[in-house]
Structure 1
């Protein structure tokens, strides 16, 4: 299969976004927004600085009421908006300027152990980088509106951590993480409803 022609040539790109969710117990309230980074590689971040987010994968489930049901955790790599080429009309209802997209890399939530999706000692879900046979991360482009919440993760080192890991490379070279359900009380309540 050959290259695919896209109906646009240029993108607006953002390096961070503020995500805000509603309160688990009172949907009329909104806790403070969380800054989510999508910083490409630079002199400070050799491998980039890409934060984790929770996204909706099934329209039948709504965050935060449904917890992880119908949702998954991904690493956010790019926030973009295609620009309609000058002199061209958009090919569908609305302008490209209203179409915000996100490029993500996928993670899998470890299968249930003894009926639970959590590590026995920490009571936190375990995430694994989704890797096919060729060992390249599985990525996707999704509508920005599927992003629900910032997600805090903790590297899962095992008995001994590699001494070469640091803040700029740990997300690149670690393949298993804990989903930090204790990050804030709203996230804790939401996850507790489905674990």
Structure 2
């Protein structure tokens, strides 16, 4: 869920989502293989005369998986999980100019 600032949440709030980048890979059977982790920023729909554009889209900003020490478990994604928590360590993906790396994708890919 993406929400603007409010009295209860003064700094906005956004959900982290898995984006399916490869339709042949299905969550959770394929793990993160064929998926990327992203921060959901906006869900929108383009209205107009173009039928293909008449669907819901999402603007997401990507995360990169931070490589962990070799003692952690190797995963099908090629990344490694934290040896203590078993979770991935993430950082926000940046372009060369330090702006966040974002994509507009169909909501059906979430």
CA distance in 2, matches of 1:124, 1:110: 11
Backbone CA RMSD of aligned residues: 1.9
In the alignment, structure 2 segments of 5+ residues that lack a partner are 75-79
Contact 2:92 2:100 in 1 (8 A): yes
CA distance in 2, matches of 1:95, 1:140: 18
CA distance in 1, matches of 2:18, 2:52: 27
SS at match of 1:80: strand
1:55 is the counterpart of 2:19 = yes
Point out 4+ residue stretches in structure 1 off by more than 6 angstroms. Answer: none
CA distance in 1, matches of 2:37, 2:85: 18
Q: 2:102 aligns with which of 131, 139, 162?
A: 139
In the alignment, structure 1 segments of 5+ residues that lack a partner are 1-36, 148-195
Q: Give me the TM-score of the superposition, normalised by structure 1.
A: 0.48
Aligned equivalent of 2:28? 64
1:41 is the counterpart of 2:38 = no
Can you list the C-alpha shifts for 1:67-118, whole angstroms capped at 9, x where unaligned? 111011111010111111xxxx32xxx3643x11000011011235426211
Aligned equivalent of 1:165? none
Aligned pair count? 103
Q: 2:58 aligns with which of 96, 102, 107?
A: 102
What is the deviation of 1:135? 2.5
Q: Give me the TM-score of the superposition, normalised by structure 2.
A: 0.80
SS at match of 2:96: coil
SS at match of 1:83: coil
Q: 2:91 aligns with which of 117, 120, 128?
A: 128
Aligned equivalent of 2:77? none
CA distance in 2, matches of 1:48, 1:130: 20
Contact 2:65 2:89 in 1 (8 A): yes
Mark the structure with the bigger radius of gyration. 1
